[in-house]
Structure 1
Amino acid sequence: MAHTSHTSLEDFYQEMTKKLGKDVESIFPKGLHKDIGHFNVFDIAQTIEKIRMTSEMPYNRRKYYKISLIRGKNRAEYADKIIQIQNNALLFATPKVPYHWVPEDPQQSGNFCVFTEDFFIRDRVHNGLQDLPIFQPGNVPIFEIDDELADEIQLLFNKIKKEINSDYIFKYDLIRNYVVELIHYGQKLQPASKLSTSNDASLRVVSLFIELLERQFPIETSEQRIQLKSAKDYADRLAVHVNYLNKKIKESTGKTTTEIIAERVIQEAKILLKQTKWNVSEIAYALGFEEIAHFSNFFKKKTSLAPLEFRT
């Protein structure tokens, strides 16, 4: 398995400058300081212009949050479900849950905004984005909406676009309020009902499981730590039952979910033991073990060597 990492905001802006044919300075929000997090807003028609039909939108699975109003015929693939959107959709994206968004006609319009958790630090409405129902793992964060509601939401995006280009000293406080309003629009909606089980649902669930697994690597600092450690952790993120995930993984790979997780952890453990000077305790912590003894026993069971024996 190859290393896969999250796409950062820097990577996002590299993509956007290519799509829009502009430099970073021209699309970076005016008056935004690092101490208030990050926020920006874009027109979908401009960013999708050069993307071929049926290709995946290039800013799906990222380190930041995204809210999109997308107007056009589209398909969303989320874990073992397919959601067909015939006209308008409101979509909430979180770094926790991967999905694919596939435009199905060239007439796409709307807006999307991207923001970090830090952007809401000064917002006392809630304790954090991850605590909000709309961003909880296990939800299907895609809502089909009618033209009237889409027009209402478009007005909010228009206000955001107007403010982000203004010189108003408190504009990001105002924008934050608009984003909270967008979030409440989503939380009042019911999940999109046009769900169907795909013939290749098994392959997609396996693919998304592998993607979530690989997202946690490489371990680059001793403070970094993997968060998903068990089959249930992955099933919760994918909004499927753990028995369903285990069955599909076994059918596709011939291995259990636990075996695949363990193989990847051992692979990373070997890399860290050979390529870093971290002590075994630091490596154990980074790989999700609470006790160094548990890691040592796990490593020896899988390799027949103690961690320090392998290192030497």
Structure 2
Amino acid sequence: MENQTVTGTIDFNTSELKLKGFKVYEINNDLSTIPTYNRRDFYKICMHTGQSFIHYADRGIEVDGTILFFGNPYIPYSWEKNSPEFSGFACVFTEEFLRVNDRSESLHECPLFKIGGTPVFYLSAEQKQFISGLFRKMIEEQETDYVFKDDLLRNYINLIIHESMKMQPSENFFKHKNASSRITSLFLDLLERQFPIEAKDNPLKLKTAQDYAQSLSVHVNHLNRSVKEVTGKSTTAHITDRIISEAKALLQHTDWSVADIGYSLGFEYPSYFNNYFKRLTGTIPKLLRT
């Protein structure tokens, strides 16, 4: 059977998901039931059975059987279905949903979601039965009116996480043959995921080549060489062009102040944003509004 890349989006409102912070669903042979989110807000735990190929950062893995996959929203991934039978469960959630207080450990520190970790675990028949039961309980629970429903759902997620931490991760990763093209594609994808800016009080987090290299778990020199080799432009030039493009869009299509726009793009002080914008465009930001 010809390989199919999973790029569809599931039919539920992501604005509602942001509000509630959680969604669990069953996967079937219809590729459209496996969502690919363009925003960085959501973590994902997926259990699936079948033959598939997962691209994750600059690595890839072929799987045949039942696995658990842990998706970090800062790392782009894609999923190719290699067999007609493809089933399982998945849940997506925000870090705010899972962390009940500021003292809780960040998901970035969890071995399953930590950048640079191994996100795939094979399940035995017994483990599959147990984890499937937890997903089914979550599906049933999310439709109830139980006043402590969120607490119960968090407990199910944490139980899956702790059961998984007792397993041995898969070590079948390999480097893609065209490493430069692959890492460049990942960088450009991750860059685009940072936009559009949707809230002026949630500033851009990845602003430099070092930020992107760290998020992709590669050395910044490797990232810079790869991007320059493939595109002819530096990593910094790509980041700068995208920031300026977003700045122009915000200036022309929102009523945010120049200071708010600058802050949303990662500039702590308005003067920094004004100087940056003028140096790269030859004009000051407010002139785009006259």
TM over 0.5: yes
Instruction: Give 1:58's aligned amino acid.
Output: P
Which position in structure 2 is the counterpart of 1:59? 36
- Secondary structure at the counterpart of residue 110 of structure 1: strand
Q: 8 Å contact 2:70–2:113 — kept in the other structure?
A: yes
The whole-number CA distance in structure 2 between the counterparts of 1:305 and 1:238 is 34
What's the CA shift string for 1:223-263, capped at 9, x where partnerless? 24211001111112222221211111011111110111011
Which position in structure 2 is the counterpart of 1:265? 243
Which position in structure 2 is the counterpart of 1:226? 204
Which position in structure 2 is the counterpart of 1:117? 95
What's the CA shift string for 1:108-132, capped at 9, x where partnerless? 2222123333433547982454443
What's the CA shift string for 1:171-203, capped at 9, x where partnerless? 443332121011112333444211111124433
The whole-number CA distance in structure 1 between the counterparts of 2:146 and 2:277 is 57
What's the CA shift string for 1:153-172, capped at 9, x where partnerless? 22332443454466755444
Which position in structure 1 is the counterpart of 2:85? 107
Q: Does 1:184 align with 2:167?
A: no
Which position in structure 2 is the counterpart of 1:3? none
Instruction: Give 2:278's aligned amino acid.
Output: K
Match of 2:24 among 41, 58, 65: 41
**Alignment map for 1:84-99 (pairs within 5 Å):** 84-99=62-77
**Alignment map for 1:199-278 (pairs within 5 Å):** 199-278=177-256
What's the CA shift string for 1:73-124, capped at 9, x where partnerless? 1111012111111212111123222101111101122221233334335479
Task: Report the CA distance shift for 1:178/1:124 in structure 2 as closer, same or farther (over 3 A).
Answer: farther
The whole-number CA distance in structure 2 between the counterparts of 1:135 and 1:90 is 12
Gaps of 5+ in 1: 1-10, 17-27
The whole-number CA distance in structure 2 between the counterparts of 1:133 and 1:305 is 47
- Secondary structure at the counterpart of residue 133 of structure 1: coil
Task: Report the CA distance shift for 1:239/1:140 in structure 2 as closer, same or farther (over 3 A).
Answer: farther
The whole-number CA distance in structure 2 between the counterparts of 1:300 and 1:142 is 46
Task: Report the CA distance shift for 1:50/1:155 in structure 2 as closer, same or farther (over 3 A).
Answer: closer
The whole-number CA distance in structure 1 between the counterparts of 2:194 and 2:53 is 27
Larger displacement relative to structure 2 (133-142 or 167-176): 167-176
TM-score under structure 1 length normalisation = 0.77
What's the CA shift string for 1:28-77, capped at 9, x where partnerless? 99xxxx6xx343332222xxx2339xxx9433555322211111111110
The whole-number CA distance in structure 1 between the counterparts of 2:156 and 2:61 is 27
Instruction: Give 1:107's aligned amino acid.
Output: E
Instruction: Give 2:30's aligned amino acid.
Output: K
Which position in structure 1 is the counterpart of 2:111? 133
Question: Offset of 1:137 from its aligned partner?
Answer: 2.6
Task: Report the CA distance shift for 1:147/1:15 in structure 2 as closer, same or farther (over 3 A).
Answer: farther
Question: Offset of 1:14 from its aligned partner?
Answer: 3.6
Q: 8 Å contact 2:50–2:86 — kept in the other structure?
A: yes
CA RMSD of aligned residues (A): 3.1
Q: Does 1:69 align with 2:35?
A: no
The whole-number CA distance in structure 1 between the counterparts of 2:189 and 2:30 is 26
Q: 8 Å contact 2:38–2:193 — kept in the other structure?
A: no
Task: Report the CA distance shift for 1:135/1:15 in structure 2 as closer, same or farther (over 3 A).
Answer: same
Which position in structure 1 is the counterpart of 2:5? none
What's the CA shift string for 1:193-224, capped at 9, x where partnerless? 11111124433322221222122222344324
Q: 8 Å contact 2:27–2:34 — kept in the other structure?
A: no
Task: Report the CA distance shift for 1:273/1:182 in structure 2 as closer, same or farther (over 3 A).
Answer: same
Task: Report the CA distance shift for 1:123/1:219 in structure 2 as closer, same or farther (over 3 A).
Answer: closer
Gaps of 5+ in 2: 1-8
Q: 8 Å contact 1:90–1:142 — kept in the other structure?
A: yes
Match of 2:265 among 262, 280, 287: 287
Q: What percentage of aligned pairs have identical amino acids?
A: 41
